[in-house]
Amino acid sequence: MPEEELRQEIFDRSDKNKKKLIELIDSGEAILLAGAGVTASMFVTWKGLVDKFQQAAIEAEPDFVPFNGDDETYLDFFDRVKLVLNGPIYTNVIMQTFRTDEFEDYHKLMVSMPFKGFVTTNYDLVLENALTQATRKPQLPVYIDDGVNAKVLLDFFKSLNFNKPNTRKIFHIHGVHFATNTILLSQTEYMEKYGYVLTQPTPEILAELGNPELTQDQINNALSRSSLRWTTHRKVLWSLLATRRVVFMGFSIEDPYFLEMLNMVKDDLNTYNDEVHMAVFRLAEGGVIKALETEKELRKFGIECVFFDDDKTYSGFAKFLNEISASVSTHSSILKDNAAPVAIAEPEKDQQESLDHGKQELPNWMNDQNKTLSKEIRNEN
């Protein structure tokens, strides 16, 4: 069948699913899971991030072997980088890349929709910036860190039960740029945080664990190699995928550890060919075969696909969000003058906002409050 006919078939199915997506979002029962595509217009692509780390690694060690996608994965590459760069340099690249007080107009559309809450794999605070501006209340990121009181996680899960004004939170499952020990980027970091490896050897695990001389790190490593260690990351993600309806945006759903979590939920709850979650993808010229493969692959996890038309300008996502936002209600925590699904009007002078090609920046007083509260969140109070 010609590509144009296949493309039309995909969009015909997508139009039906788009109606389901609008109904799901408008019901107030969904949570948004935002991937790198949601903030890609403001930061580097994966290739760009690789280039940044590669440059730093070569400066530290001129013989550093450049990334080769045919021989290694991104995860393995970042493990090699960590061996070359000392901790401060490695974490500084992340900090400098993803630190910003800005957001795009369409980010405010996203946080204005009646999602129960937000989960993101991104290290930046773009969604917090947009939600802070839309509600005029400082928004603190939620993340998993030994230095953060576990009650913070409990508050996040409790917030998903109410969907009331000013209770919504943004959870960073893969860490935030300013808390560098929370970052998941390399294979080792994923294994440590999720508690398993993708290519599992078959050690005599019970005999190995019976050694009384093992250190705690050695015990954790053995449990991870056998996928027996249910870490906090693993528990949280399983809980969200198993008990909530998720809308994926800007997320390719190709992360191997994330796919493994979807597999676990599928095995536990038989999500095959069910209507559980929904995912939004761009469909540009030449992407038909990939789109068909994605539909088939995700169906077994209970994920239905919605595609939007896009081109080399990457403007399709913002247009799609405008369309969806116009069809759903605005969350009650959002000020009425921020609810319209169009480009944001010129601000008044006393708002002290700056606009630059669709970007917005938080007022100084919000930045000051966010910085103060971010320090407080890490103590036991």
Return d(Cα 61, Cα 53) in angstroms, integer: 12
Q: pLDDT (tens digit, 9 = 90+) per residue, 131-150?
A: 999 999 999 999 999 877 88
Of the two residues 158 and 314, the one the predictor is more confident about is 158
Return d(Cα 195, Cα 210) in angstroms, integer: 19
pLDDT at 285: 86
Q: Which two tokens stand for residue 117?
A: 């809450």
Q: pLDDT (tens digit, 9 = 90+) per residue, 244-289?
A: 999 999 998 988 889 989 999 999 999 998 999 999 999 998 899 9
Q: pLDDT (tens digit, 9 = 90+) per residue, 336-376?
A: 654 444 333 333 333 333 334 456 666 665 566 555 555 55
Choice among 83-87, 274-278, 317-321, 358-362 with the minimum mean pLDDT: 358-362
Return d(Cα 101, Cα 130) in angstroms, integer: 9
pLDDT at 372: 57
The structure's pTM equals 0.83
Mean pLDDT (whole number) for 50-58: 95
Mean pLDDT (whole number) for 78-94: 91
pLDDT at 60: 94
Asked if pLDDT for residue 85 goes beyond 50, the answer is yes
pLDDT at 353: 34
pLDDT class of 213 with cuts at 50, 70, 90? confident
For 166, left (φ over 0), alpha (ψ -120 to 50), or beta? left
pLDDT at 312: 82
Task: At 129, give phi and psi (nearest 5°).
Answer: -60, -45
Q: Which two tokens stand for residue 229?
A: 């260690």
Cα dihedral 129, 135, 138, 141 sign: negative
Return d(Cα 169, Cα 26) in angstroms, integer: 18
pLDDT at 332: 87
Return d(Cα 189, Cα 78) in angstroms, integer: 10
Q: Which residues pair with 97 in a beta bridge?
A: none
Return d(Cα 159, Cα 168) in angstroms, integer: 6
pLDDT at 237: 95
pLDDT class of 105 with cuts at 50, 70, 90? very high
Helix (H) or strand (E) holding 117: none
